[in-house]
């Protein structure tokens, strides 16, 4: 969970400083003869593999690959002009979303096979060092000609001036992939699967997408989907995935992916995470020590949003805890969940890496999930380089050897959640400080929570002089001084309460605002421990 940000950040360095190749496109991207391909056949391969012993992926020349560190990997620049589907007149290539490949490196040492699918036929694309601009002293020059690739990305649709400047999706490392949102910025990632994350009896397993089959429609348009088929393999699991990715020229819509997958277990799994995503949360308007960093907030996502099977809307602000923790939110056939970046005010970050532009990611199940839980994993971090947040669906039934799972879901990489409730307000901010009355001595072990809710079309319905009720419960501790107040300059209301909690005690908080007995806001959940604060 925590080892992929450096790898993906290396990938972003490949976007600039491009040089034209000396060799023509087809000479550089050598391919095998075409062979029939179908998703059904890929599923059968995954099923057969689940009955056979696991074979780890090939890792060419580990001693050389380990020399290709973050800096040296960033020197390796793909010759964008040779990309497949660039549609450039002098190549005679099909017009589409140009396809580029990532080279091997310290943080991406496993060879991944790449295939292009055309008219139901697949052809493997082979590694060639001539595809990359390599400085003369770069250790990658010592790699063999069959070293292979580490992953791939797609550039924006070909236009005269900007197609080389921005990629919009990337697959690299284990089963990780990510896309940009409406503001053209990468942030959090999705994963094919999670196996035994944060269990006490052993390390997490990271299955790999070992083969990719990439298909674009001949004569397609920017709204035509790019279809990626992927073969998953790991010690405990195999799987076949079909991911239809839609970008379009209206970039304000972000990226939408429809995923179909068939997963097979070759071993028992203690925690099986389906439809997973992973992100980073260091600190927000809460959780920041005074001198920890110069910026007000640092995070790719600030909360877990859920739409339960019963229709309840839930918001759980993220934590950077003192130890790895997993929270489970039991449900049956949830309508969706996601990790969101709701705070989009640059002044709240003051950072040139644009955390205010990071996409939110929402998963919409397209087939019933049955009983289980959305699980939220939070890992301690003392820097922004680590992905320390995970969210995924865990089925209620035991995940045992021989089980198979049919998945069908949609991923939305956008600024906001795609199905917002229009009749309740959303959480805008969570603030935590010392409890007690201002102007009086502040009692030890008492904490004040101020949670802001915002949606003008909802909050303006509150009659003048009427104050909503703050409905709050705590699994531990004592709640007092509950009251609501309007925030000046807008239809924002703040729910306030104090919490008295013994030192070191953990509590789960649940709160919403109500008017005339009916919910006015989504349900705010939070997990808090007193020694995370400032005593």
DSSP state of 357: G
For the chain, helix, strand, coil in percent to 5 are 10, 40, 45
Residues 410 and 438 both lie in one domain: no
Residues 401, 471, single domain; the answer is no
Under the banding of pLDDT at 50, 70 and 90, the label for residue 4 is: very low
Q: Which pLDDT value is given to residue 17?
A: 30
Per-residue pLDDT band for 10 (boundaries 50, 70, 90) equals very low
Tell me: do 367 and 289 sit in the same domain.
yes
Mark whether 151 and 40 lie in a shared domain: yes
Q: Are residues 445 and 397 in the same domain?
A: no
- Evaluate if residue 32 carries a pLDDT over 80: no
Domain boundary among 414, 439, 458: 414
**Which CATH number is 448's domain given?**
2.60.40.10
Q: Which of 19-23, 129-133, 526-530 has the lowest mean pLDDT?
A: 19-23
Question: Which range has the worst mean pLDDT, 11-20, 48-57, 113-122, 517-526?
Answer: 11-20
Instruction: Report if residue 419 sits inside a domain.
Output: no
Q: Considering 414, 439, 474, which residue would you say is the last residue of a domain? A: 414
313 and 288 part of one domain:
yes
pLDDT above 90 (res 317): yes
Residue ending a domain, among 380, 414, 448, is: 414
Residue 14 has pLDDT above 60, yes or no: no
Instruction: Provide the pLDDT confidence category of residue 163 given band limits of 50, 70 and 90.
Output: low
What's the confidence (pLDDT) of residue 202?
83
Same domain assignment for residues 385 and 314 = yes
Does residue 313 sit within a domain?
A: yes
Q: Which residues of 327-359 are buried (b: 16+ CB within 10 A; e: fewer)?
A: bebebeebbbbbbbbbbeeeebbebeeebbbbb
Q: Which domain holds residue 499?
A: 426-532
pLDDT interval class at 212 (50, 70, 90): very high
pLDDT at 440: 80
Q: Is the pLDDT of residue 114 over 80?
A: yes
- pLDDT for residue 159: 65
What's the rounded mean pLDDT across residues 284-293?
84
Q: What is the pLDDT of residues 67-87, one digit of tens each?
A: 999 999 999 999 888 888 887
> Is the same domain home to 407 and 432?
no
> Does one domain contain both 349 and 447?
no
Nearest to 405 by CA among 415, 386, 420, 392: 392
250 in any annotated domain: yes
Q: Is residue 16 part of a domain?
A: yes
What is the rounded average pLDDT of the residues 342-371? 96
Please provide residue 357's backbone torsions phi and psi, each rounded to the nearest 5 degrees: -105, 5
State residue 25's pLDDT score.
43
Supply the CATH number for residue 219's domain. Answer: 2.70.98.10
**Least confident interval from 15-29, 414-428, 438-452:** 15-29
Would you say residue 466 lies in a domain? Answer: yes
Q: 10 Å Cβ neighbour count for 140?
A: 21
Q: Which residues pair with 77 in a beta bridge?
A: 133
Lowest mean pLDDT among 306-320, 385-399, 423-437: 423-437
Distance of CA 214 to the CA centre of its chain: 21
220 vs 481, more confident? 481
Q: Are 378 and 470 in a shared domain?
A: no
Mean pLDDT within 368-381 = 97
Contact residues for 429 (Cβ-Cβ < 8 A; gap 6+): 285, 343, 451, 452
pLDDT, position 120: 94
In a domain, 420, yes or no: no
The half-sphere exposure of 496 on its side-chain side, counting CA atoms within 13 A, is 15
Residues 335 and 471 in one domain: no
Domain count, the chain: 2
Beta strands in 322-436 (DSSP E): 325-332, 336-340, 360-365, 371-378, 389-395, 404-414, 426-434
**pLDDT for the residue 287:** 86
Q: Does residue 15 register a pLDDT over 70? A: no
Say if 147 falls within a structural domain: yes
Query: Quick one: what percent of the chain has pLDDT higher than 70?
Result: 91
Average of per-residue pLDDT values in the chain = 90
Please determine, for residue 135, whether its predicted confidence score (pLDDT) is greater than 50.
yes
> Are 135 and 162 in a shared domain?
yes
pLDDT for residue 497 is more than 80: yes
Lowest mean pLDDT among 10-24, 331-345, 465-479: 10-24
Query: Is 197 within the bounds of a domain?
Result: yes
499 and 478 Cβ atoms separated by less than 8 Å: yes
């Amino acid at each position: 969970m925590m080892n992929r940000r450096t790898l993906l950040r290396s990938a972003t360095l490949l976007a600039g400083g491009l040089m034209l190749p000396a060799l023509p496109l087809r000479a550089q991207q050598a391919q095998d003869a075409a062979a029939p391909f179908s998703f059904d056949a890929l599923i059968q391969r995954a099923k057969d593999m689940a009955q056979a012993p696991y074979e780890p992926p090939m890792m060419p020349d580990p001693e050389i690959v380990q020399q290709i560190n973050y800096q040296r990997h960033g020197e390796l620049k793909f010759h964008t002009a040779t990309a497949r589907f660039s549609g450039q007149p002098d190549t005679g290539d099909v017009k589409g979303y140009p396809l580029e490949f990532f080279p091997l490196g310290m943080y991406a040492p496993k060879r991944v096979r790449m295939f292009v699918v055309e008219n139901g036929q697949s052809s493997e694309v082979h590694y060639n060092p001539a595809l990359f601009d390599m400085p003369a002293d770069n250790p990658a020059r010592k790699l063999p000609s069959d070293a292979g690739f580490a992953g791939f990305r797609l550039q924006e649709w070909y236009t005269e001036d900007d197609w080389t400047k921005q990629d919009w999706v990337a697959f690299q490392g284990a089963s990780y992939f990510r896309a940009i949102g409406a503001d053209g910025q990468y942030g959090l990632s999705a994963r094919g699967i999670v196996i035994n994350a944060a269990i006490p009896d052993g390390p997490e397993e990271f299955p790999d997408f070992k083969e990719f089959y990439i298909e674009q429609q001949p004569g397609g348009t920017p709204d035509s989907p790019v279809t990626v088929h992927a073969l998953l393999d790991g010690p405990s699991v195999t799987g076949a995935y079909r991911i239809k990715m839609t970008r379009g020229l209206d970039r304000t819509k972000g990226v939408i992916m429809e995923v179909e997958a068939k997963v097979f277990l070759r071993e028992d799994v203690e925690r099986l995470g389906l439809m997973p995503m992973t992100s980073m949360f260091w600190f927000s308007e809460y959780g920041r020590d005074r001198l920890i960093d110069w910026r007000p907030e640092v995070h790719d996502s600030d909360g877990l949003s859920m739409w339960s099977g019963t229709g309840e809307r839930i918001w759980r602000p993220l934590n950077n805890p003192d130890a790895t923790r997993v929270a489970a939110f039991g449900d049956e056939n949830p309508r969706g969940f996601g990790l969101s970046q709701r705070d989009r005010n640059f002044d709240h970050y003051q950072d040139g890496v644009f955390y205010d532009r990071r996409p939110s990611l929402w998963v919409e199940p397209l087939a019933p999930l049955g009983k289980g839980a959305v699980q939220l994993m939070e890992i301690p971090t003392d820097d922004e380089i680590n992905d320390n947040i995970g969210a995924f669906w865990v089925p209620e039934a035991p995940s045992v050897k021989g089980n198979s799972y049919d998945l069908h879901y949609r991923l939305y990489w956008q600024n906001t959640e795609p199905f917002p409730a229009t009749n309740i307000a959303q959480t805008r901010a969570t603030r935590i400080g010392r409890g007690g009355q201002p102007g009086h001595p502040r009692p030890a072990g008492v904490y004040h929570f101020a949670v802001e809710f915002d949606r003008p079309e909802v909050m303006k319905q509150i009659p003048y002089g009427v104050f909503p009720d703050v409905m709050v419960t705590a699994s531990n501790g004592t709640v007092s001084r509950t009251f609501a107040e309007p925030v000046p300059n807008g239809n924002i209301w703040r729910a306030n309460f104090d919490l008295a909690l013994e030192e070191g005690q953990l509590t789960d908080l649940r709160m919403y605002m109500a008017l005339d007995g009916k919910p006015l806001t989504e349900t705010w959940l939070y997990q808090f421990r007193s020694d995370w604060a400032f005593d």
